[in-house]
């Protein structure tokens, strides 16, 4: 929406004023990330830019907080736990969620709205209520403070994202393809793996990524359900923020930002691949 | 005429089954197949998620503690009419069960439960049980009143009567700042003891404020992205999506780093001479911190639905309005803006739903004044251990969220929810 050459002074001022305001909003969105990355290289244990950092003197920067992550037993344990719990929960959520999405997309699905509502509920219910409910239940069945308990809890919280993304991929799925495959003699499993899976794979992977990030970033259920042995990265950051912020947290945060950039790039690639495969031209 | 319809041949499939029957069987099989695919997840969600939440919410009406630990007293008090104080027989049963409960070491649980309803009763209970063990014989009414005057008050006994019913509304009353009066009528709490209704209202107002802020900040940038060439708007989209994908705790941490009194923003303001070094502004660990951090976290949820609606509005609408003589403002408000209302509805509802149940950010940056209703539920879960009240507050919150969600589903449809 470029400014037309005949625009008057008022229109011109409004145009640049609007752009300036938008610039400020974008700055607001990105500022926390822009601030935290350089501060994580601070040589001093402060949370502000030292004069040395501002004059770009090499002595003011260091990697000591990154080394700290690898020396600290608790952080190493937290990273391991986050990966174990995140990956296991993602596998459960993706497998169950994909199957359910396949069922929900069939034209003959009974009680579709009610079932969809129930399956989406972990995303809707405020997390504090979910965590409190699961705390009582998992304590009663002896799953509190265990890995399986946390994995099941995180799997439940992650399934809605898989269901939503895979269902979205299946909109416009051509069911005659499966019939064609069957009429050419493929058994149902062959049809599933050779025809259906390649077509819905982008949706499954992005749903899985959502489920993984949900678990990877989840702290409230962990607060209620985990024992000292199941501390995850967010749990460790939580206690770090509550007790005393050490710049190690900033280093961890920077690493997590890199992880989210990688996830974002993967999702974008998947989206483009999905559009290509289904013949949708990029708008 | 009837004969004609009788004689019409029934259409059959190749194997001689009537087509209608065959169709019914096929449809049923298809339904069963579709349902079979959903069953595993449905069972998992029901067992691992819905059932736990349901049973936690049941705690809000559960009142079985007193009837199970002091069964005969509870039975006697259920009979009592609530006028004055109970008779000698009830006192005798009560005294006997108190001594037994002390031996069984369950008196503490009873005392804690009663104390939630009537503060100060914990010590009365433990003291009375201890001294009663030494009293040989009645009259028990006099003995108990001698130990503590509170046993002569009607309110003490009406409280116990309320706690003798197996189901109760006391937690819901407490969650709404109401209580049973001494004569069992429902009255509101004293002004200075009202906590929950003001907190609910504050949560609503804060959520509304955050929604409006998100709309004011999000609408312009969504508009800008929707009207710029795709190449540039995709780049700007990264600025929206990157924070969206960044860990919540990372973003909360960076707001602490930016806003604290020794933080980046205060340093910049001091360096620019806007404020003096002594008068640094307290921007975090209060409501300001909560609102700023939550607006930042929820802004992408507003921008994404707005953007996807605005993308579908053809620029020729506004051009047509302009060419017909509308001023830019008229063209915007009469033509463009009404077209974006579905996006505004979707984004606002989503942000509002997410913010009324928010926990993490207020807990970390809210300090004492920036807490929301979720934080109080967590407090009753973890600190005061008043699980019934936590359940009642949770049920009220959940009811509100579900109502809004149903509205969202009507307007937007959960299938159309945009995830990144």
A172, part of any domain: yes
Lowest mean pLDDT among A84-93, B43-52, B180-189: B180-189
Task: Name the average pLDDT for chain B.
Answer: 87
A129, part of any domain: yes
pLDDT tens string B98-120:
888 888 888 888 888 888 888 88
Which of B217, B230, B374 lies closest to A126 in CB terms?
Answer: B374
CATH number of the domain enclosing A120: 1.10.3720.10
- What is the mean pLDDT of the segment spanning B230-245? 89
B residues 324..363 contacting A (CB < 8 A): 328, 353, 356-360
Q: How confident is the model at residue A2 (pLDDT cuts 50, 70, 90)?
A: low
The secondary structure of B278-344 as a DSSP string is: GG----SSSHHHHHHHHHHHHHHHHHHHHHHHHTTS-HHHHHHHHHTT--HHHIIIIIIHHHTHHHH
Are B254 and A26 a contacting pair at CB < 8 A? no
Are A168 and B415 a contacting pair at CB < 8 A? yes
ipTM of model over 0.95:
no
Are B38 and A242 a contacting pair at CB < 8 A? no
State residue A246's pLDDT score: 78
Are A104 and B34 a contacting pair at CB < 8 A? yes
Q: How confident is the model at residue B299 (pLDDT cuts 50, 70, 90)?
A: very high
Q: Is B284 on the interface with A (CB under 8 A)?
A: no
Q: Is B30 on the interface with A (CB under 8 A)?
A: yes
Give the start-to-end residue ranges of the domains of chain B: 65-193, 196-416
Q: Is B46 on the interface with A (CB under 8 A)?
A: yes
Domain count, chain A: 1
DSSP-derived 3-state class of residue B180: strand
A94, part of any domain: yes
Are A264 and B238 a contacting pair at CB < 8 A? yes
Between these two residues, B263 and B404, which has the higher pLDDT value?
Answer: B404
State residue B33's pLDDT score: 86
Query: What residue numbers bound the domain in which A179 lies?
Result: 64-276
State residue B27's pLDDT score: 87
- What is the mean pLDDT of the segment spanning B161-184? 86
Question: Does pLDDT of B345 surpass 50?
Answer: yes
Q: How far apart are CA B314 and CA B380, in angstroms?
A: 52
CB distance B408 to B349 below 8 Å: yes
Q: How confident is the model at residue A176 (pLDDT cuts 50, 70, 90)?
A: confident
CB distance B128 to B148 below 8 Å: yes
pLDDT tens string B361-389:
999 998 888 889 999 999 999 888 889 99
Residues 6+ apart with CB under 8 A from A136: B52, B55, B56, B59, B387
Are B52 and A138 a contacting pair at CB < 8 A? yes
State residue A211's pLDDT score: 93
pLDDT tens string A204-262:
998 999 999 999 999 999 999 988 888 999 999 998 888 876 788 889 999 999 988 99
Give the number of beta-carbon pairs within 8 Å between A and B: 273
State residue B151's pLDDT score: 86
State residue A151's pLDDT score: 95
Residue of B nearest to A153 (CA): B48
Closest chain B C-alpha to A164 CA, distance in angstroms: 7
Q: Which residues of chain B lie closer than 8 angstroms to A120, CB-CB?
A: 414
**CATH class of the region B196-416:** mainly alpha
State residue B152's pLDDT score: 83
Q: How confident is the model at residue B420 (pLDDT cuts 50, 70, 90)?
A: very low
State residue A279's pLDDT score: 62
Q: How far apart are CA A203 and CA A102, in angstroms?
A: 12
Are B27 and A136 a contacting pair at CB < 8 A? no
Which of B34, B46, B359 lies closest to A109 in CB terms?
Answer: B34
A282, part of any domain: no
A154, part of any domain: yes
Give the bridge partners for A7, in sequence order: none
Q: Is B240 on the interface with A (CB under 8 A)?
A: yes
CB atoms under 10 Å from CB of B338, counted, come to 9
CB distance A98 to A207 below 8 Å: yes
A145, part of any domain: yes
Which of A28, A103, A116 lies closest to B37 in CB terms?
Answer: A103
Q: Which of B203, B212, B416 is nearest to B302 (CA)?
A: B212
Residue of B nearest to A17 (CA): B220
pLDDT tens string B246-284:
888 989 988 988 888 888 888 888 888 888 888 888 888
Q: Which residues of chain B lie closer than 8 angstroms to A125, CB-CB?
A: 53, 357, 398, 401
Q: Which residues of chain B lie closer than 8 angstroms to A153, CB-CB?
A: 48
Six token digits for residue B102: 């002390």
State residue A79's pLDDT score: 93
Residue of A nearest to B238 (CA): A264
State residue B1's pLDDT score: 47
- What is the mean pLDDT of the segment spanning A16-39? 92
- What is the mean pLDDT of the segment spanning B325-336? 90
């Amino acid at each position: 929406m470029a400014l037309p050459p005949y625009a008057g002074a008022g229109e011109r001022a409004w145009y640049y004023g609007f752009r300036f305001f938008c610039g400020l909003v974008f700055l607001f969105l990105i500022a926390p990330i822009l601030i935290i990355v350089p501060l994580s290289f601070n040589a001093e244990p402060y949370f502000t830019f030292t004069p040395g950092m501002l004059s770009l003197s090499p002595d003011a920067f260091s990697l000591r907080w990154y080394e700290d992550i690898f020396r600290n037993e608790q952080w190493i344990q937290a990273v391991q736990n986050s990966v174990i719990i995140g990956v296991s929960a993602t596998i459960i959520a993706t497998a169950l969620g994909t199957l359910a999405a396949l069922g929900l997309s069939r034209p003959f699905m009974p009680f579709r709205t009610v079932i969809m509502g129930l399956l989406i509920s972990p995303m809707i219910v405020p997390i504090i209520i979910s965590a409190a409910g699961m705390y009582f239940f998992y304590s009663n069945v002896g799953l509190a403070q265990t890995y399986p308990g946390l994995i099941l809890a995180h799997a439940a919280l992650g399934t809605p994202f898989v269901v939503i993304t895979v269902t979205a991929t299946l909109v416009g799925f051509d069911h005659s393809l499966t019939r064609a495959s069957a009429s050419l003699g493929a058994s149902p499993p062959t049809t599933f793996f050779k025809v259906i899976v390649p077509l819905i794979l982008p949706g499954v992977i992005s749903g899985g990524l959502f489920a993984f990030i949900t678990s990877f970033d989840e702290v409230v259920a962990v607060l209620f359900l985990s024992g000292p042995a199941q501390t995850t990265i967010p749990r460790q950051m939580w206690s770090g923020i509550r007790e005393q912020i050490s710049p190690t947290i900033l280093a961890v945060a920077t690493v997590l930002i890199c992880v989210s950039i990688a996830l974002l790039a993967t999702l974008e690639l998947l989206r483009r691949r999905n559009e290509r495969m289904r013949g949708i031209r990029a708008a | 005429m009837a004969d004609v319809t009788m004689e019409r041949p029934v259409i059959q499939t190749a194997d001689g089954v009537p087509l209608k029957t065959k169709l019914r069987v096929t449809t049923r099989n298809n339904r069963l197949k579709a349902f079979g695919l959903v069953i595993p997840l449905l069972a998992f969600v029901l067992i691992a998620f819905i059932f736990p939440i349901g049973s936690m919410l049941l705690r809000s009406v559960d009142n079985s503690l007193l009837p199970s630990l002091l069964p005969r007293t509870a039975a006697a008090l259920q009979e009592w009419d609530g006028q004055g104080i109970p008779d000698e027989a009830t006192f005798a049963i009560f005294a006997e069960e108190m001594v037994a409960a002390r031996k069984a070491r369950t008196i503490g649980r009873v005392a804690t439960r009663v104390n939630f309803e009537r503060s100060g009763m914990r010590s009365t209970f433990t003291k009375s049980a201890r001294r009663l063990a030494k009293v040989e014989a009645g009259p028990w009414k006099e003995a108990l009143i001698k130990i503590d005057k509170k046993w002569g008050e009607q309110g003490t006994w009406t409280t116990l009567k309320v706690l003798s019913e197996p189901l109760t509304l006391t937690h819901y009353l407490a969650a709404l700042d109401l209580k049973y009066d001494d004569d069992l009528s429902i009255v509101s709490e004293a002004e200075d003891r009202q906590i929950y209704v003001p907190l609910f209202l504050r949560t609503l107002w804060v959520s509304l404020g955050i929604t409006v802020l998100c709309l004011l900040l999000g609408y312009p940038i969504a508009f800008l992205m929707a009207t710029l060439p795709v190449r540039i708007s995709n780049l700007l989209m990264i600025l929206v999506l990157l924070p969206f994908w960044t860990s919540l705790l990372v973003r909360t941490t960076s707001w602490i780093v930016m806003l604290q009194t020794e933080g980046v923003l205060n340093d910049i303001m001091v360096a620019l001479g806007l404020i003096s070094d002594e008068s640094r502004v307290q921007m975090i660990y209060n409501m300001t911190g909560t609102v700023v951090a939550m607006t930042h976290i929820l802004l992408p949820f507003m921008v994404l639905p707005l953007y996807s609606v605005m993308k579908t509005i053809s620029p020729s609408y506004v051009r047509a309005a302009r060419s017909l003589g509308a001023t830019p403002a008229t063209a915007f408000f009469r033509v463009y803006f009404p077209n974006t209302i579905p996006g505004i509805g979707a984004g606002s509802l989503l942000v509002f739903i997410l913010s009324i149940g928010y926990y993490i950010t207020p807990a970390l940056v809210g300090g004492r004044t920036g807490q929301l209703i979720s934080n109080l539920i967590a407090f009753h879960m973890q600190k005061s251990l008043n699980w019934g009240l936590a359940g009642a507050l949770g049920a009220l919150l959940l009811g509100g969220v579900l109502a809004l969600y149903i509205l969202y589903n009507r307007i937007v449809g959960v299938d159309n929810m945009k995830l990144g």
